[in-house]
A = this chain, B = another copy of it.
Amino acid sequence: MKKRGSKPARFKVTFLPFETTLEVAAGTDLLQAARAGHLPLKATCGGLGTCGGCVVRIVRGECRRKSSAALSSKLSSQGYALACSTQIIGHLTVELPQFEELFLEKVVDFRVTDELKDGLSGVRENDPPLRKIGLSLPPPSLEDNSSDWRRLERELRNKVSFETLDGKHSALRKLARSVRQDQGKIWVVIHKKGGAAVVLDVGAESASRSIFGLACDIGTSTVALHLVDLESGKILGTASSYNQQLKCGEDVISRIDYAQKPGRLLELNQLVVATINHLVGKVTRTAKIRPADIYYAVFAGNTTMTHLFLNLDPRFIREEPYVPSFNNVPEFRGADLGLGIHPEAVAYCAPAAGSYVGGDISAGVLATPLLRDTEKISLFIDAGTNGEIVVGNKDWLMTCACSAGPAFEGGGIRCGMPASRGAIDRITIGENGRVEYSVIQAKRPKGLCGSALVDLLAELFVQGLIDRRGKFKQSSPGGPIVMAEHGLAFRVEEGRNTHWGNDLLVTENDIANLIRTKGAVFSACSTLLKKLDLGFDRIESIYIAGGFGKSLRVESAIRIGLLPDLDRAKFHYLGNTSLFGAFLILLSDRNKRMAEAVGQKMTYVELNAEPKYMNEYTASLFLPHTDASLFPSVGRKGPTG
């Protein structure tokens, strides 16, 4: 019984997985609400209900849905709805399906373990600084009524060497009871650090459990982690999702800017910590272990991500002379960082080399063979949203960073998505314009991941559908080229064959984004090499990392001018080196020291201070390059447009 003239009722809408809750007036549509909450929901048609980009899943609550041709009745019956066509008439919880956890089995499939496993820079020994040790304390007597702690120390000395023994308050609190539960048989978790040993936890033998570690890559766009059994060194599970900070900006610069208003640094910090804790929850539930049994966590991220993860203002990274708060960071307590693991867990962040070359790279280098050779020069390219390049060998390392953008991880591209279930990961276009593709673990595609986008760009170019500047050669629709809202587009697949029921289209704007991204990476490489007075021909091996997906084809990457035109045998695609490097650091302090040495050894080149960089970049905004002679093998095969 609403009175006339009274204000409209207001309802709470929660968007998962961001856990953002807003209060909006009754009748607001979900797309308006998502925009008010700065949520990254795409709607290329501008909310007309035609593109199908703003699909959401209704988890709980009542809403009024208009039917739309852009959403199949099957999906509609499964609870999916278009945000633009859904009115809020009660409290509501919805999920943005594009931001569900990714199925990263494929992304983190380690090529390195197959191709190069014995040739990596990092050592593959299992000797973590955190250990669980079983002890059997002799019973106290009137003759020897040493304290529980003293008896623990004595027995521990028989098993581990240390100069000083410390312990956490929470461990000491459990000691007396644990010692008496199983006739003196206990386990302790110790952290060895130099000559000191610190008891993090203690328990009775009958309550013994395995102890676990986390290796985590904190990317600007995606966060991925491994759950590791610290005793065997085995990876028990892997989880990954978008970084929830995405709603605050796509790249590190926009995140730093976002952080400058009051409360925003904490918001960014809480978003990334929530992302990590969400993944910890997922991976521990699957492995059926308690999060509190995780005692060690190693994080690798770019410098801005690490600052935000540590709740440190990244502002001075962005201001000349670009100084971070830290490169090498001390170890902190899990509880200090808000992590949902053991409160006294040791949390370590891989060391950075500079403001724009972070721990993801010093860890990443360990996951390459770069440091094994004193003679041969290698190039390491991590083509994430923040792109980093390292060139060097065992004796010297030089590095730079560029803002590549998220295109290769599926961001900023209309039909882009990460390399997870439902992603097209390989594409070929026949001479007739006929498209063939493969989909990750699904039949109907949802979108295209990085490797497919690289393929597609190469094929469009090689088949003569686009010119060197990335423009469609034909000026009107016909064949696979169709008219979309804002101009011509290449149709990869028709809506009736796709998961969401909408056409998979690639526009000129998407192509321009891809070209900018590949251009930023290639020009960073060439600028760095020119600074060293090295030609690409001096490079013996090229290691590529990034979120492209497992199926990146080097041939395609060379055809678009992302990678230099060298002997294909020199290229090795390594996947997520940051995550694998974090895992190596977790396994052994020797790797940790190596990462610290890498961080200190790398000479950082600030591209913004390099006069040649802008020219190099501009010259790279062609397919494959302004200077076609740099890509002789591409010239031989493809048309020059």
| Chain B residues positioned under 8 Å from A163 (CB to CB) | 194
Q: Is the CB of B169 within 8 A of A323?
A: no
Q: A148 to B146, alpha carbons, bound, how many Å?
A: 46
Interface residue tally for chain A (C-beta within 8 Å): 54
Which one, B148, B173, B325, B352, contacts A172 given CB within 8 A? B325
| Chain B residues positioned under 8 Å from A326 (CB to CB) | 147-150, 172, 175
Q: Is the CB of A325 within 8 A of B176?
A: yes
Q: A390 to B144, alpha carbons, bound, how many Å?
A: 20
0/1 string, A486-516, CB within 8 A of B gives 1: 0000000000000000000000000000000
Q: A312 to B312, alpha carbons, bound, how many Å?
A: 35
| Known pairs A169-B336, A337-B169, A609-B142; A149 contacts B316 (CB<8 A) | no
- CB nearest neighbor in B for A141: B321
Q: Is the CB of B177 within 8 A of A147?
A: no
| Chain B residues positioned under 8 Å from A609 (CB to CB) | 142
Q: Is the CB of A147 within 8 A of B312?
A: no
- Copies of this chain present in the complex amount to 2
- CB nearest neighbor in B for A166: B330
Q: Is the CB of B141 within 8 A of A332?
A: no
| Known pairs A176-B312, A180-B316; A148 contacts B325 (CB<8 A) | yes
- CB nearest neighbor in B for A312: B173
Q: Which of A349-371 contact B (CB under 8 A)?
A: 352, 354-355
- CB nearest neighbor in B for A195: B194
Q: Is the CB of A321 within 8 A of B606?
A: no
Q: Which of A162-180 contact B (CB under 8 A)?
A: 163-170, 172-173, 175-177, 180
Is A140's CB within 8 Å of the partner chain B? yes
Q: Which of A246-290 contact B (CB under 8 A)?
A: none
Q: A166 to B332, alpha carbons, bound, how many Å?
A: 9
| Chain B residues positioned under 8 Å from A331 (CB to CB) | 166
Q: A164 to B324, alpha carbons, bound, how many Å?
A: 20
- CB nearest neighbor in B for A303: B147
Is A106's CB within 8 Å of the partner chain B? no
- CB nearest neighbor in B for A331: B166
Is A126's CB within 8 Å of the partner chain B? no
| Chain B residues positioned under 8 Å from A355 (CB to CB) | 145
- A residues apposed to B, CB below 8 Å: 140-142, 145-150, 163-170, 172-173, 175-177, 180, 194-196, 310-313, 315-316, 320-333, 336-337, 352, 354-355, 604, 606, 609
